[in-house]
Amino acid sequence: MGLEDLQLHTSLHWIDWSIIGLYLVGTMAIGFYVKRFIADMSDYVVAGRALQSNVGIATMIGTELGLVTVMYSAQKGFTGGFAAFHIGLTAAIVCFLVGVTGFIVVPLRRMGVMTIPEYYEKRFGRGVRIFGGAILAASGILNMGMFLRAGSLFVMGMTGMSSAYYLKLIMTVLLGLVLLYTILGGMVSIVITDYVQFVVLSFGLLVACVLAVNHLGWNHIVTTLSKTEDVGFNPFTTEGFGMDYVAWMFFLGLVNCALWQTAVIRACSAASVKVVKKLYVWSSLGFMIRVLIPAFLGACAVVYITERPDLAPHFLPPGEASSDMGLSAMPIFLSQIVPVGLAGIITAGLLAAFMSTHDSYLLCWSSVLTQDVIAPLCRLFDIELPTKVRLFIARLLIFLIGVFLLIWGLWYPLGQDMWDYMAITGSIYFTGAFSLLFLGIYWRGASRVGAYLGLCSGFLGIFGLKPVQNMVGTDLDSPEVGLATVGLAVVSMVVGSLVFPDRTSREKAEREAATESENEPEEE
């Protein structure tokens, strides 16, 4: 059974649709307005490196607190109860420590790079930059492959639309809106809209939590979840998430704030090193809240659906429910409890979150392909791309990536929780990136051959995807695959560097310059 079998009455009224429409029109207006401020790639990609603390914190949380984040966190709350809160707690701890220490992100900001692969060239050479940039972009595009589907399932759940036709139509319309103002305004557009979206979304989610508790009752929520013994509260039990999953979440916390390009680009956009540290310290609260609130709403959806005979067979069947049903539980729950007006505000806020994530990711991956793959390849043939050509290529790539996402979101059989899909597709890049950034910045002995081997190791992460496992006949848990891939990447980097050290004076000079930049005084 699927969404097409449900016949639900929702609370969306013409007032709600008016609120949603006004917000979307305002977003388009911002994209058109800020287009005049885009003069070069620095403006387009990192907003001229002029982000101050307050705006930077809001835009980082606004991007990371996207509709996709809300959907996969709610799905984890739906399947794991309050035990899913550990995902947000571990992310907050790691982000705070990165802010205090400046681990990885401060050296990157001091070097003045716009992308992580740009650092690869400074440290290991142009070939590593091109190879690493291609892997980063491919992994990142696959990582956001389910974003459109999740956004469409949210809209379907809130509005009661249930046919496959509506799924395709909604995905296409949402993609068109995001492409339009991202192509126009770049990072300047993203920073401005993220700030607005952060305010709207924060209000919408807080109101949703109040309504959920008021409707179900706090004691009733806890009592119902307690019937699952300690699985719904304790993440360390083998019947629940397990120790290996918690360890995997600690590493993903580091990835989300210090290794993932969409977060690092905020550090690179900051006005100074001091702003970078402040940005991460305060954003740690956002990294925690972005999981806790949606996971709480997902847990409330379990309580609500359990008591609905018309919904329970669809969402809580004797076997395993489909991924689409798990993703749809939270929006369907909200559609049943929120009154007219508030439904429009919450929907507008979550659509804002959808757009804030998509615009940042589309800009990020198009910029990586332009700056770190296409432009360096052209320089190998003594071709220097003018600024206007680079901007055109970046905008064209945004469009092409969007078309791919539409096709992939409709075709790919998810087969697992969306968060686990995102972690594994991202690991194709970030397991190798961790070895290059960590060892490249903090170990003088890291070499070019070691960098190539570390990057190649990340490809083993694909064995954590359910369709791949079905093809090869294995049944490994995604945390086991992820942690093993991290270890392999580090070992490969170390062994490759020891066996094949860099020997030319130029390579030594590049390595020392990259490492010594850590000791420069902080900018005020």
Mean pLDDT of 255-284: 81
Q: How far apart are the C-alpha atoms of 392 and 64, rounded to whole Å?
A: 27
Mean pLDDT of 225-253: 80
Q: Is pLDDT at 522 greater than 60 in this prediction? A: no
Bridge partners of residue 270, in order along the sequence: 51
The residue among 451 and 8 whose pLDDT is bigger is: 451
- With 0-12 CB in 10 A as exposed, 13-18 as middle and 19+ as buried, what is 341? middle
Mean pLDDT of 211-237: 81
pLDDT given at position 41: 44
In sequence order, what DSSP letters do the residues of 165-217 get, joined into one string? HHHHHHHHHHHHHHHHHHHHHHHHHHHHHHHHHHHHHHHHHHHHHHHHHHHH-
Q: Is pLDDT at 471 greater than 60 in this prediction? A: yes
- Tell me what percent of the residues of the chain surpass a pLDDT of 90: 28
**How does pLDDT run across 367-415, given as a tens digit for each residue?**
889 888 998 899 888 888 888 888 889 889 988 998 898 889 888 888 7
**How does pLDDT run across 310-366, given as a tens digit for each residue?**
888 878 776 666 677 888 889 989 988 888 888 888 888 777 767 767 777 787 788
Bridge partners of residue 51, in order along the sequence: 270
**How does pLDDT run across 130-168, given as a tens digit for each residue?**
999 999 889 989 988 888 888 888 888 888 776 667 777
- The answer to whether the beta carbons of residues 407 and 418 sit under 8 Å apart is no
Choose the most confident range, by mean pLDDT, from 17-31, 175-189, 324-338: 324-338
Q: How far apart are the C-alpha atoms of 357 and 367, rounded to whole Å?
A: 15
- With 0-12 CB in 10 A as exposed, 13-18 as middle and 19+ as buried, what is 311? buried
pLDDT given at position 181: 62
**How does pLDDT run across 477-495, given as a tens digit for each residue?**
888 899 999 999 999 999 9
- The answer to whether the beta carbons of residues 38 and 394 sit under 8 Å apart is no
pLDDT given at position 40: 47
pLDDT given at position 183: 65
Mean pLDDT of 80-92: 92
Altogether, the residues listed in the chain come to a count of 524
- Angstrom distances, CA of residue 266 to CA of 51, 58, 519: 8, 11, 22
Mean pLDDT, all residues of the chain: 80
pLDDT given at position 519: 47
The residue among 438 and 43 whose pLDDT is bigger is: 438
pLDDT given at position 392: 87
Mean pLDDT of 198-222: 86
Q: Is pLDDT at 54 greater than 70 in this prediction? A: no
- The residue among 279, 276, 257 whose CA lies nearest residue 112 is 276
pLDDT given at position 187: 46
Mean pLDDT of 251-259: 89
pLDDT given at position 386: 87
pLDDT given at position 100: 93
Give the number of other CB atoms < 10 A from CB of residue 314: 20
